[in-house]
Amino acid sequence: MAIDASAFEAQNLASCHLCDTVQDAGRQRCSFCQHPLHARMRYSLQRAWSYLATAIILYVPANLLPIMTTSELGHETFNTIAGGVVTLWQHGDYLISLIILLASLMIPLAKFAAMLTLCSSEQFKIYNKPHSKTTIYRITEFVGRWSMVDVFVVAFLASLIQLGSLMSIYPGPAALAFAGMVIFSMLAADSLDPKVFWDDYERSE
């Protein structure tokens, strides 16, 4: 058995997504648990593209609209994410400021870049480096969820700080856009099947 051969292409074998039973890829259903059997995730690339596009579109309102409104003695202040980073920095909370800058602004952008690289390299059959692509995929899958931290900050502050006209904090429209952006970018990574990176690898051997 050659070491550089995918089970599907070399031996026509597939493992059940549900119970991991290795079996003939030609079967319609798993021999053990009767779950539908597919060697690759279906419509993986199409789904990844559409989720990614949705996430990128949502990134715009998430950053332009206010993420929270602070109302203090009748005086209302609207805060955007970038504004929050600047305010925290000016107050001397450098660490928190950097965490938010990283989690809310940089990580989503890095994730878009990574997913664009992976999706377009599959779409146009370029950048045939499965090892690097798998590494990029793993990092993307792991860090994406940490962007959610700003949504939690807003939701938590809004439920805690409700003192009527003295001081109240309300979530802004960007909070929802931001949550949607993170959810859709997680779905994009979820729906991309890393096995396809290795299919072209063998053809090039």
Would you tell me which residues interact with other proteins (CB under 8 A)? 1, 3-8, 10-11, 13-15, 17-23, 31-34, 39, 84, 88, 91, 93, 96, 99-100, 130-131, 134, 137-138, 141, 144-146, 148-153, 155-163, 166-167, 170-171, 175-176, 179, 186, 190, 194-195, 197-199
Taking phi first (over 0 means left), then psi (-120 to 50 degrees means alpha), and beta for anything else, what does residue 24 get? beta
Q: Which is nearer to other proteins, 56 or 68 (CB)?
A: 68
Smallest distance from other proteins to CB 148, Å: 5
Smallest distance from other proteins to CB 49, Å: 20
Question: How many whole angstroms separate alpha carbon 60 and alpha carbon 67?
Answer: 12
Smallest distance from other proteins to CB 75, Å: 13
**Which amino acid type is present at position 164?**
G
DSSP state of 43: T
Smallest distance from other proteins to CB 122, Å: 14
The total number of residues written for the chain in this structure: 205
CB of 11 closer than 8 Å to CB of 144? no
Q: Which is nearer to other proteins, 122 or 150 (CB)?
A: 150
Phi and psi at residue 37, in whole multiples of 5°? -105, 125
* Residue 25 tokens, joined: 């890829």
Q: Please, what is the Cα angle at 84 between 82 and 88, to 5 degrees? A: 125
DSSP state of 155: H
Smallest distance from other proteins to CB 170, Å: 6
Q: Which is nearer to other proteins, 5 or 82 (CB)?
A: 5
DSSP state of 147: G
Q: Which is nearer to other proteins, 56 or 177 (CB)?
A: 177
Phi and psi at residue 77, in whole multiples of 5°? -120, 135
Q: Which is nearer to other proteins, 56 or 100 (CB)?
A: 100
Smallest distance from other proteins to CB 82, Å: 15
Residue for token digits 């993986």?
44
Q: Which is nearer to other proteins, 52 or 179 (CB)?
A: 179
